[in-house]
Structure 1
């Protein structure tokens, strides 16, 4: 099974406690699917065969500290931010990462807001969200092949056919897919979509089975972009508004929630806020 290297940034302060570091490292190494763990520059480098979201939960629970995935893969990596906001009425959100290895591609992700059960996952030809998920073009298919499953040879599948992911009763799908057809350099600028139904992998009786696995329309999608590998991203704090990297994933990209502390500070300056909120530094968390 292919391994992935993760850089997990942990909020341990400037002088991490040695006992806590040892406890976290030893606990992680004892878990099935964890191959190697080391601590460097405030982050854990973890080599694993597990989905990154599972590893991130392990680090958070073991260390008791805030943790965030800072880098994925040695060098050639990509990421897609999946959302239903551009196309559909649901609230599907997720992150899917790709890593190139000499032995194949790793597709690693978690997506929330799905109905329970199986959903198709496909790389599409175009990275065009001008009409939401309806302008992505067909599945990425450089070999002009019929639709198939991820275990089929290139002549019997689209390169973008990644099969199915499975959402649990809470609507979350956590997955790690290995693929021997897709290449990381083929993905950048294309798009990834999750569909409303199960993909029959080209083996069904429906007229659309050999086109899209009768998996229905996309319900969430995102453009695939280049991303940082381990120890390639030194970011710890957003210079524009002071939001630290551990909290950034819980803030909107822009708007009131993003600059909450600044707004409270400004209200006090204008005589409309209360003293308790005004005591907080502007743009700090």
Structure 2
């Protein structure tokens, strides 16, 4: 994975006056990772073009005291497709991972996963979108060309090999990856899995190194589903439970206040 390309992120932001908007503008203006932005008070909308993670941009906006919800992602080219995976698993692990096709050659993977043990964890797209036996029925790594397992920068790798994400001391992994082998249109209907251990990228002891990366137990997984791009998500209320997006925003990704069933309908997937 190479240098990061900017993506456009559409946020709903609670703003009631021009001074609210100016506070948001000031926060974004001071961040060198933000390429451009626009703020519309009447629509309570902020559009940001940045190479930062969506979590980092959201934190910038919310540093002004305004709540924000990511409603859509887009690239600088035409709409090439977007997808989302809602991850759930053992020990209350929950996460939201989004896929955006930036160009014919580059796919953006942007996510936040909570409840992990601190340290590196393997992340892979698996061949099957089957959760009948939880993560055990997701199949093997997505590998349409019959290659050996490797790292994301390797030519010889599974298409689903995304390397490692790193959880901090609080158990949260927030990441933004770009990949040249993965395509959104190929992974919709498949699954995304995060593992207990570090992926050795095919450089560890055989035989599992060249098959799975020796990354251990599958901790959490979710089916990759088509999602809204820019300006394609007008909802203000989640149809599944009737709460507003602001009420849903206040629910944690994981832990107290979010049941396992809630993971299918967070604000990020309205």
- Cα shift readout 1:64-95 (whole Å, capped 9, x = no counterpart): 122111112243110000110xxx3x111110
Query: Of the two structures, which has the highest relative contact order with CA contacts closer than 8 Å and spacing of 6 or more?
Result: 2
TM-aligned CA distance change 1:240 to 1:93, over 3 Å: closer
2:11 aligned with 1:8, yes or no? Answer: yes
Structure 1 gaps, min length 5 = 257-285
Out of 68, 80, 83, the residue aligned to residue 78 of structure 1 is 83
Structure 2 gaps, min length 5 = 252-256, 263-270
User: TM-score normalised to the size of structure 2?
Assistant: 0.86
- Does structure 1 retain, via aligned residues, the 8 Å contact 2:88–2:260? no
Q: What SS does structure 2 have at the residue aligned with 1:212?
A: coil
Q: What SS does structure 2 have at the residue aligned with 1:138?
A: coil
Q: What SS does structure 1 have at the residue aligned with 2:38?
A: strand
- Cα shift readout 1:253-282 (whole Å, capped 9, x = no counterpart): 7999xxxxxxxxxxxxxxxxxxxxxxxxxx
User: TM-score normalised to the size of structure 1?
Assistant: 0.82
Corresponding residue of 2:267: none
Q: What SS does structure 1 have at the residue aligned with 2:221?
A: strand
- Cα shift readout 1:8-45 (whole Å, capped 9, x = no counterpart): 10122xxx311221231132022021111112422100
**Greater radius of gyration (CA):** 1
- Cα shift readout 1:208-258 (whole Å, capped 9, x = no counterpart): 0000000012100000000111211000124676421121141757999xx
TM-aligned CA distance change 1:248 to 1:130, over 3 Å: same
2:99 aligned with 1:98, yes or no? Answer: yes
Corresponding residue of 1:142: 144
Name the CA distance, whole Å, in 1 between partners of 2:260 and 2:198: 35
Root mean square deviation, CA, Å: 1.9
